[in-house]
Structure 1
């Protein structure tokens, strides 16, 4: 390390940034760097820094180009924890001012357009460097490379990941609490999914995603349902598994969650179409009743439960819907501009973690492979629990890969350039070693 002080710039101080900020500040004296956190909520950013001598907080509108560019120009490396739609603003400036960029989000088409310039300038833009995507890629590639090194051929690959509530804090009928952006929960599955199973390409639309989900048993944690994620097939090529008969990436949820969420989708509660005006609804129950009326000639909470919901699911679904407040007489918040907004508010309000609640991340890779004309199966599993509602397992597993990657890049222990995701050995090996030191590790089942 040189004696020169390095500057790390982080955009976003939300739920998933808590552990990242702590990690970067904890390493700051040893690594000789300073951290600047930018968030629209200055008090939030300040609360995450906790007065650390090597941390500072700023607040400005990310769309204000002059201030954004000035701040980026002063950094050595930039980490964006902004909503995915805003990454491109940061990415353009990082290219312009020759700054490395890290994100935890899926690599999108707009940033791909910058690829040639990123490579020409010798920059590293490392995307999908969180949990899922992120740790899933790194752990999967380590496992795949290990199996292939034995001369084996992988026939089936399934990767499951879920941000869940730990059993000791599971006290509601949804078996779920909000540990990350609730908008992502509301929008889950909307793009449909495509994957490969038994040699066939399977496509599912939004209305099919949460129907009849299969389950997987996790030793010591219980059984969880899983639903397919987006476009699994695009990762089959990246993973070198184009010839596998089965290839799918999925999300884990409690089976009761998936059943009820299907009825949420069928009711139209995740729709993003703008309300004509919020005041058209006198309260939450009125919004629910009018929304279902657009799809079913029912007009009431009870009629929907008794008519649309399968008989075997009615008692539990009624309990879940009631817990979420779908039939209460509370007013909708004025900031709700669509049903999706209203639902997000209800999730934040009624599925909020208590201060001492613990969340849980489960990631499971299931691989079937052929070696010397014999079939073998292996399972590799990671279980991480949070400490409380602030230092969550979600914050650990999203934030630590970003923090570790930033450290390795600044120390030139990751010394590659281009637009990347963490599927190559020179990225995943050193990151996984450091994650293991933080008790984020996989064990064979």
Structure 2
């Protein structure tokens, strides 16, 4: 029996655990699920004969290393900063590694050793990054095989609330790691547009009114991701004039989040004492208060909006305009904001989320310009088996199966851009209603 070791049993692990447990009898594998929270593991795994829960502190080397030594394959859904602990152990004990996270500089330092050991460390094997790479490369290779010359590539993806559950001022509810949402865009973004490199700061990112039309959904807003240029070589599109990867949101969210950034509430560097600090005083720490004005009027004046505007309603929804005391001890602004979001923007048990992804590719073939849209919309089942959990977890599960069946020959530090990976993974994802539709103009 083969042994799969999974680190992390959080929001994104639910459907991955389901997949591994359901396939265990036929595939003859055993799954060990590691998390600091034993009750959380048991809630996700049930009483399956094929699962062993392991409640440990992943930073504890003496507890972590024996588990890795006994595994045939390791999957990590830990917070990104902790992957390197697992990666170094996988290299030491010669174990293959799968994760949905971005390749970071620390694991990049191990690239030669990973290759020399004949191991596969497949990073970015989730949704975004993950399904975006696989689906994009399938389309790119198809266009190029038919003689098409690509000159513009834009890719969009967003974890949204489904329309029937979209019932708050933010048009947003949390379906994944709230800290990642709070810190999104901190390093700004770089992309190429019509031959020119564009750079946006964190403050500029959400202050955009750019939208894209999604079939069946209407207009969604978008903001560019991190460093799009870093993926041009991965996609073999180094020389095209336009290349951008972006995140999708409902337009109201981007407007409100731009105000939150202007207020300085996403800063994660300086700590504040909150035991006697009210939410309003915290939210207006950079605002000159006029005592003759109401809280709403002071905030509206600073943000240069109406006191009855949508943005003021959003801030009120988060409780930022009231006199309640925060009482969380010493925290950064980002940590306080995360706490608020987890309380106010939580998914209710019956809520459903939605994943939207679209590639917009322009190319020329036989002197004819064509614009292609390849898009995917995935609905969650409920607040536990979300579209986010499906689209992050299932690619990892399918890839694990392919690797244990020895159907994958690639080695080294990789992301899933090669046909031997994306063809079987995308094909099986269709069995879970994760599929792409195409249209041409």
- 1:332-377 CA-partner distances (Å, limit 9, x unpaired): 2526611101100111101000101000000000011011111111
1:287 corresponding residue in structure 2: 282
How many Å apart are 1:378 and its aligned residue?
A: 0.6
2:266 corresponding residue in structure 1: 270
1:150 corresponding residue in structure 2: 146
Unaligned runs of 5+ in 1: none
Partner SS state of residue 303, structure 2: coil
| Structure 2 length-normalised TM | 0.96
Unaligned runs of 5+ in 2: none
> Mapping of 1:13-412 within 5 angstroms?
13-281=9-277, 283-289=278-284, 291-293=285-287, 296=288, 301-311=295-305, 315-334=309-328, 337-412=331-406
| Root-mean-square deviation (Å) | 1.5
How many Å apart are 1:199 and its aligned residue?
A: 1.2
| Structure 1 length-normalised TM | 0.95
How many Å apart are 1:292 and its aligned residue?
A: 2.8
Match status 1:435 vs 2:429 = yes
* Contact 1:38–1:58 under 8 Å retained in 2: yes
Distance 1:414 1:338, change over 3 A: same
How many Å apart are 1:52 and its aligned residue?
A: 1.2
Q: Which deviates the most, 424-433 or 258-267?
A: 424-433
- For these two proteins, the number of residue pairs brought into alignment is 437
Q: Which deviates the most, 157-166 or 321-330?
A: 321-330
How many Å apart are 1:16 and its aligned residue?
A: 0.5
How many Å apart are 1:212 and its aligned residue?
A: 2.0
Q: Distance in 2 between matches of 1:67 and 1:199?
A: 52
Q: Which deviates the most, 324-333 or 195-204?
A: 324-333
Match status 1:423 vs 2:423 = no
How many Å apart are 1:280 and its aligned residue?
A: 4.6
* Contact 2:125–2:396 under 8 Å retained in 1: yes
* Contact 2:275–2:329 under 8 Å retained in 1: no
- 1:202-234 CA-partner distances (Å, limit 9, x unpaired): 011111000123101111112100000000001
